[in-house]
Chains A and B, each alone.
Chain A
Amino acid sequence: MKKQFAPLFLIALLTLAINFTSCKSKPKDADIKATIEAALKADPMAAGTSVSVEKGVATITGECKDDMCKAHCAEIVGKIKGVKSVVNNCTVAATPMPATGATDAEVDLLSKGLADALKDHPGVTGTVENGKVILKGEIAKAKWAMIKQTIDKLKPAGYELSGLKIK
């Protein structure tokens, strides 16, 4: 008798499991999410944001360029049918600091150019500090004149040459 019941029991268990999962994921959430995504996509201000929906609660994540943009995104989402409430987890992009002096790219260019210029002159070492080129070591005059002409083209802020000796 026991053997006959076993498959029945399994079927019952399976139906229960299926019911459970279908209950858990309300199909509506996915629809709401799709509608919101379409609305966000259509609005250039909402670029960079994404949304998730659970039980009618829409959570917006991503990065907005300013507070106004963040509020605007919440407004769009709040208007969508089926959204019960909006959780706005958007971050606001930090305002870029105004650059002071040489940019990193310019400093990199100078450092790289300096390394290239000194590559064949192992007697001299060079570093860049606050845009100034600091040279140390010993070098023949003709070579130094050539290097100086090259480095001057890289627009350094100046030189610190007390450690450089001309042979």
Chain B
Amino acid sequence: MLAENKYQGLINAATVAGVANLQVREEEGVLFIDGEAPSGAVKDMLWAEYDKIDPNFLTGDLVMNINVASAAPVTSAKVTTESSNLNIRKGPGTDQAIIGKAAHDEIVTVISQSSDQWWLIRTKDGEEGYAYAQYLTPEA
């Protein structure tokens, strides 16, 4: 239970912050924390806490899968790439053909968030396909 002791502060913080379905288990020296945070701010707070205990997350003894509970499904998102266009692909994967591009800062329609990594989107020009979710910020 070494990893659990190490990250006890993080587990406590998650409990206090009201993370739902919190599950903690340790396997072969790796701690797995799963749960659903009530807000994005709570999730960010937990990652900051993780960084405090294990600077730069470099020990590799924690896998933290914290999702943010969404009250309403995301219907539109802003393309938040650094500066470039965002590829729109035929399927969810970088091995899939690029069928279009969404401009930086463009607002797109989110059709489906079936995977954490890839969202199905539609641009205002009607281009429809999968884009990498990390570069999409939900619009309020």
**Which residues of A does B touch, CB under 8 Å?**
112-113, 115-117, 119, 141, 144-146, 148-150, 152-161, 164, 166
Question: Which residue among B59, B60, B118 has the maximum number of chain A CB atoms within 10 Å of its CB?
Answer: B60
In the complex, which residues 42-98 of chain B have their Cβ closer than 8 Å to any Cβ of chain A? 47, 51, 56-61, 63-65, 67, 93-95
Asked whether, in the complex, the Cβ of B60 is within 8 Å of the Cβ of A113, the reply is: no
Asked whether, in the complex, the Cβ of A158 is within 8 Å of the Cβ of B63, the reply is: yes
Closest Cβ neighbor of A118 among chain B residues? B94
Interface residue tally of chain B, by bracket?
20 to 34
Q: Does B119 contact A (CB under 8 A)?
A: no
Q: How far is the CA of A97 from the CA of B116 in the complex (A)?
A: 31
A116-B94, A157-B30, A158-B30 known; A146-B59 Cβ under 8 A: no
Q: CB < 8 Å: which of B57, B63, B94 contacts A144?
A: B57
Asked whether, in the complex, the Cβ of B64 is within 8 Å of the Cβ of A152, the reply is: yes
On chain A, the residues within 8 Å of B61 by CB distance are: 158-159
Q: Does B28 contact A (CB under 8 A)?
A: yes
Q: Which 7 A-B pairs have the closest CB atoms?
A: A159-B60, A158-B30, A161-B60, A166-B56, A119-B94, A153-B116, A116-B94
Asked whether, in the complex, the Cβ of B63 is within 8 Å of the Cβ of A113, the reply is: no
A112-B95, A117-B117, A153-B116 known; A161-B63 Cβ under 8 A: no
A146-B134, A155-B65 known; A161-B51 Cβ under 8 A: no
Q: How far is the CA of A144 from the CA of B56 in the complex (A)?
A: 8
Q: CB < 8 Å: which of B28, B58, B132, B134 contacts A161?
A: B58
On chain A, the residues within 8 Å of B95 by CB distance are: 112, 115
Q: CB < 8 Å: which of B56, B67, B93 contacts A141?
A: B56
Asked whether, in the complex, the Cβ of A145 is within 8 Å of the Cβ of B65, the reply is: no
Q: How far is the CA of A14 from the CA of B93 in the complex (A)?
A: 66
Other A-B pairs, 14, CB within 8 Å; known A145-B51, A160-B60: A115-B94, A116-B132, A141-B56, A153-B65, A153-B116, A154-B117, A155-B65, A157-B30, A158-B29, A158-B61, A158-B63, A161-B59, A161-B60, A166-B58
